Amino acid sequence: MSANDPRPGRGTEERLRIELEDAASVKWWARILYTLGSQYGRTQLRFVGKTEDGRRLYVSDTFPGPPLNATPPAEAWAPGLQASLSRLREEIARDGWSENSQGTQPWELTFSRRRVG
């Protein structure tokens, strides 16, 4: 049986991917507030957990960092990155997700779990 067996009573596998986003990019008014409150061109970043169909299931705490089109953030210049990611991973694990893979950046993670159909 495959993990995506469509027969009733069989579970299918859900996939979740962690992405890094600029918290202000979601709403225009949030960008204005973050820009006014930021220092030296920094922005508020956060991690989001999205399913394959784009649903946002998880959102982490925000932390200050450089704009996303610049160098990828690291804890040294984006304080709170590791703590935010750690709390998000704990929340995801509590909901029954298993980590499948990790990319080159600490937040490039994928998870899966069985969904009862």
Lowest mean pLDDT among 12-21, 42-51, 91-100: 42-51
Enumerate the domain spans of the chain: 11-116
SS3 87: helix
**pTM exceeds 0.75:** yes
- Whether the CB-CB separation of 44 and 66 falls below 8 Å is answered with no
Sign of the alpha-carbon dihedral angle for 86, 17, 31, 74: positive
Mean pLDDT rounded to a whole number for the chain: 82
Q: Is the pLDDT of residue 83 over 80?
A: yes
**pLDDT digits over 57-80, tens only?**
999 999 988 877 767 888 988 899
C-alpha to C-alpha distance for 67 and 56, rounded to whole angstroms: 21
Task: Specify the higher pLDDT residue, 15 or 3.
Answer: 15
Strands 11-22 and 56-59: unpaired
Give the tens place of pLDDT for each residue, 28-60.
555 555 555 555 556 889 999 999 999 999 999
